[in-house]
Structure 1
Amino acid sequence: MQLIEINKARYRRHLNLVIAGCICGLIIGSLAISQTLIGLFPDASGSHFNWNLLGVVTASVTIALLLNKYRSHDFMTEVVYVWELKQTLNKINRKMPRLKAASLKGNADALLAIHYSYAGSRLLWKLDDNTIVMDELMTQQAELDSAAEKYHLTLNADDYDASILKQF
Structure 2
Amino acid sequence: MQLKDIDKARYKKHLNIVIVGFISSLLILSLIFGQLLIALFSTVEQNVIDLAKITAEQAPEGSNFKFNLIGVVLALFVNAAILHRVKNSDFFNEVYYVWQIKQVQNLIYRKLKKIKAAAKEGDEQALRILFYYYNSIKQLYILDDNTITLSSVEKNLQDITESINEKNIDIDALPFDKAMLADYK
Fold equivalence (TM over 0.5): yes
Is 1:115 aligned to 2:115, yes or no? no
Aligned to 1:51: 67
Residue 159 of structure 1: how far off its partner (Å):
1.8
Structure 2 unaligned regions, length at least 5: 46-60
Q: Comparing both structures, which one devotes a greater share of its residues to helix?
A: 1
Distance across 1 between alignment mates of 2:146 and 2:172: 24
Alignment of 1:15-164 (within 5 A): 15-40=15-40, 41-44=42-45, 45-156=61-172, 159-164=175-180
Aligned to 2:56: none
Distance across 1 between alignment mates of 2:103 and 2:177: 14
The answer to which of 54-63 and 148-157 deviates more is 148-157
The answer to which of 98-107 and 148-157 deviates more is 148-157
Q: With the length of structure 2 as denominator, give the TM-score of the two structures.
A: 0.85
RMSD value over aligned CA atoms?
Answer: 1.6
Post-superposition Cα deviations, 1:30-51, rounded to whole Å, max 9, x if no partner, equal 1011112222324244511101
Distance across 2 between alignment mates of 1:94 and 1:29: 36
Structure 1 unaligned regions, length at least 5: none
Identity percentage of aligned residues = 39
Aligned to 1:10: 10
Distance across 2 between alignment mates of 1:35 and 1:42: 13
Q: With the length of structure 1 as denominator, give the TM-score of the two structures.
A: 0.93
Q: How many residues align?
A: 168
Are the structure 2 counterparts of residues 12 and 88 from structure 1 closer, same or farther at C-alpha, using a change threshold of 3 Å?
same
Matched letter for residue 115 of structure 1: F
